[in-house]
Amino acid sequence: MRTLVTGAAGFIGFHLCRRLIEEGDEVVGLDSINDYYDPELKYGRLAELGLGREEAEVEAAGRSVAARGRFPSFSFRRAALEDRSAMESLASEGRFDRVCNLAAQAGVRYSLENPRAYVEANVVGFLNVLELCRATGVGHLVFASSSSVYGLDESLPFSVHGGADHPVSLYAATKKADEMMAHAYAQLYGIPATGLRFFTVYGPWGRPDMAYFKFAKAISEGRPIDLYNGGDMLRDFTYIDDVVEGIVRVLGSPARGDPAWNPRSPDPASSSAPYRLYNLGNSSPERLETFIAAIEKALGGKAERRLLPMQSGDVRATAADVSDLERDFGWKPSTPLEAGIGRFAAWFKEYYSEEKSEALKRDPEAQR
């Protein structure tokens, strides 16, 4: 299979690329390597995929230029989804059997500060992905949505068959827009499209803007951690390996139209067009305190709590109903929280130990 993975230098995209390379796919990775969070982490992920920094930085105005690392089946293009000319150039290079769109402007709180970045990357950029799929006859588009789309809904666990029409952040609104745009292209052009609503993904090589990563950094540096809504939060924490396994299973099963779909009582999760939605979560929500305790245990430190009010755009609880995923694929996420946090903590300590060593090599005075 020739598979395009957007967001290849991102958290989930990196792990997916590695899995697909191991399985023998020809993988084309695309990423803008922006500075929403530390680009060094993104370069580090690409290095794990066999791509040196100089190769990862290759780019040319208005074009998508390929870079190859030590894995013959992996190539990388540095470009942003919203760069129409770069995406059209990529489309002209040949057909992809599958596209997995994981690139996005992420983060709920940042959407309050820079809303235009979300429309440009998540709406305009996703339109460019859809146009690439249409132009090249892609066999299956799998795209990242988010549990954030459930917004004001408090009917736990969240079901893809219920409504998701009351988002509380622009980030969530753009993800809902992506779902609707994908359905329109599935209907108009017959592009099989499957949306996956991710629930609080965590694990090695994770995103520094996520709460669990911030907690680990604060604990290791002896700083207090911020707990919003006084710490009264419930999250469906989902380990990265489970998320990748779910994506791979879905990628191999292109969406089909449901002949039993009823337009007089429309199900949001399916359609007469080749379109499907699934929740991808652990279906075992944990209280935030339980999560923090697992991080403290794994890192061998104690966190000082700083209790704060609820943040705008946030929700108190998330929980995934994954019965559709289990029915259609005979599988559901199952990594226990302590096991997942243990693996994240082991990576975290190793990564920042190596980072510190490299910093000292560059500046020996930094230790004084």
Per-residue pLDDT of 62-82, as tens digits, reads 555 677 778 889 999 999 999
pLDDT of residue 40: 95
Mean pLDDT calculated for residue range 303-313: 86
Decide which of 94 and 173 is more confident.
173
Average model confidence (pLDDT) for the chain? 91
- The DSSP code sequence of 187-254 is HHH---EEEEEE--EE-TT--TTSHHHHHHHHHHHT--EEEEGGG--EE--EEHHHHHHHHHHHHTS-
Q: Can you list the alpha helix ranges (DSSP code H) found in the chain?
A: 11-22, 39-48, 53-56, 84-91, 110-113, 115-118, 125-136, 170-189, 211-221, 240-251, 288-299, 323-329, 337-362
Residue entry with tokens 């305009």: 124
CATH architecture, domain defined by 2-203+238-283+318-335: 3-Layer(aba) Sandwich (3.40)
Residue entry with tokens 């990265």: 240
Residues taking part in catalysis: 171
Answer whether 33's CB lies under 8 Å from 58's CB: no
Any idea what DSSP says for residue 186? H
pLDDT of residue 341: 97
Q: Which residue type, as a one-letter code, is found at position 92?
A: S
How would residue 248 be classed by pLDDT, with cut points 50, 70 and 90? very high
- Cross-strand partners of 193: 141, 275
The number of beta carbons lying within 10 Å of the beta carbon of residue 224 is 12
pLDDT at residue 60 tops 60: no
Answer whether 65's CB lies under 8 Å from 76's CB: no
pLDDT of residue 61: 53
| Residue 99 tokens, joined | 């596209």
Percent of residues, the chain, with pLDDT higher than 90: 79
pLDDT of residue 363: 44
Closest-CA residue to 20 (of 42, 41, 2, 7): 2
Q: What is the CA radius of gyration of the chain?
A: 20
Sign of torsion, CA 177 182 187 193? negative
Q: Enumerate the domain spans of the chain.
A: 2-203+238-283+318-335
> 168 Cβ partners below 8 Å, 6+ apart?
151, 152, 312, 313, 314, 315
Mean pLDDT calculated for residue range 149-157: 93
d(CA 81, CA 15): 20
Mean pLDDT calculated for residue range 88-99: 94
pLDDT at residue 368 tops 60: no
Answer whether 299's CB lies under 8 Å from 342's CB: no
pTM for the whole structure: 0.93
pLDDT of residue 65: 64
How would residue 110 be classed by pLDDT, with cut points 50, 70 and 90? confident
